[in-house]
Amino acid sequence: MTKIYLDNAATTRPDAGCLEKAKIYLGDKFYNPSSMYGEGYDIRREIDKSRENILSCVARAEEFELIFTSCGTEADNQALFCGAKRGNVVTTIGEHPAVYNAALELKQRGVDVRIAPLLKDGTVNVDNLLSLVDEKTSIVSCMHVNNETGALNDIDGISALVKDKNPAALFHSDGVQAFGKIPYRLGKCVDMYTISAHKIGALKGTGALIKRKKISIKPYIYGGGQEKGMRSGTENVFGIKMFEFAALKRYSEISENYKRATDMFELLCSLLDPSFFKIIGERDMERRSPYVLCVSAPGVRGETILHEVSDKGLLIGSGSACSSNEKKRYSRVILAQGVSEAEADGILRISLSPETTSEEIEKCAKILNETVKFRLEMMK
């Protein structure tokens, strides 16, 4: 059975062409970048080239620098734990667990953590967030694109308002679901930005924290002093080069991919039976990503649908893959949008990639419509 994979917000299929190019770093170019001989030095230069190329996709090298990490979660944790130097921390209830749970840990350590609510469309309530910022705020973290709903926050506008209120406050955004998908370059008030390789056709095990050069944060991992002392540990050269190749490919096609994803998103919305499915959030593309569609099938558990459609060859999600181990029945992100528990119980996340075809979308809708219809009829 040919599988239809539409859970790209969880991870993406590694790009075959990029993988072929990166293989040399598993074979002939296997050297440790910290070695003193020429071969090691050459690999270090290769990493610096990757750093420069990935950074150039969203920022100017004159203003920003890039720290390679093991994943987006580590980058988020570094931003929160190393950026929260004093006073209070402000974030939102819609954050990825890598930010939200880090903030809760800071609270356990005695830090004053303030959490802003969401609007019905899934974006942050900006007025409320700003009311939480004061002269003692050390860092504000607000994600760019929500991994569960696709809601798109205007981080340039929000960060500017934060800086107006407290110029000393750092502004961080988790950009994992935006990088390589949403046409965007870092604005003048964003200080740190998290990205991840495996969301754009590269491999698991590599991420990065982009930070403004003028700001000072402490290292999160100590050891041999790699990444200019900001992230010790022998670099994952293969993963970093794969990240570079995938990022350059995605950004060379980002406008075309965005248009295609928008077309596929609209097609899927038109094909899902409205008597079975409710779309969560807005369909306005200025306030959402076309790569993530969150729907609810009230009356049927999302987990039940997920398993049944999987047996039919359709692989989709029911929320954040990173939250699947928490064993919580209802998503805090979904409930924060004012969705009822009955609707939250039937949540499904369908996430697209640039390779998603209209044929796959049509098959997806057919399987979902038939599965939910059958389940509802069985419950009568």
> Is 269 a known active-site residue?
no
Structure tokens, 63: 């203003």
| Range list of β-strands (E), the chain | 4-5, 64-69, 88-92, 112-116, 137-141, 170-174, 192-196, 207-212, 278-279, 292-296, 314-315, 347-351
Rounded-to-integer distance, Cα 85 and Cα 115, Å: 18
Phi and psi at 226, nearest 5°, equal: -65, 165
Rounded-to-integer distance, Cα 74 and Cα 90, Å: 19
Structure tokens, 98: 């890598």
Cβ 112 vs Cβ 134: under 8 Å: no
Phi and psi at 211, nearest 5°, equal: -135, 150
Rounded-to-integer distance, Cα 245 and Cα 156, Å: 27
Rounded-to-integer distance, Cα 376 and Cα 380, Å: 7
Catalytic, out of 82, 269, 294, 322: 322
Rounded-to-integer distance, Cα 19 and Cα 13, Å: 11
CA 335 to chain centre: 20
Rounded-to-integer distance, Cα 298 and Cα 117, Å: 24
Cβ 60 vs Cβ 253: under 8 Å: no
Residue 246 one-letter amino acid: A
Phi and psi at 314, nearest 5°, equal: -110, 120
CA 268 to chain centre: 22
The three-class DSSP label of residue 156 is helix
Active site (catalytic) residues: 322
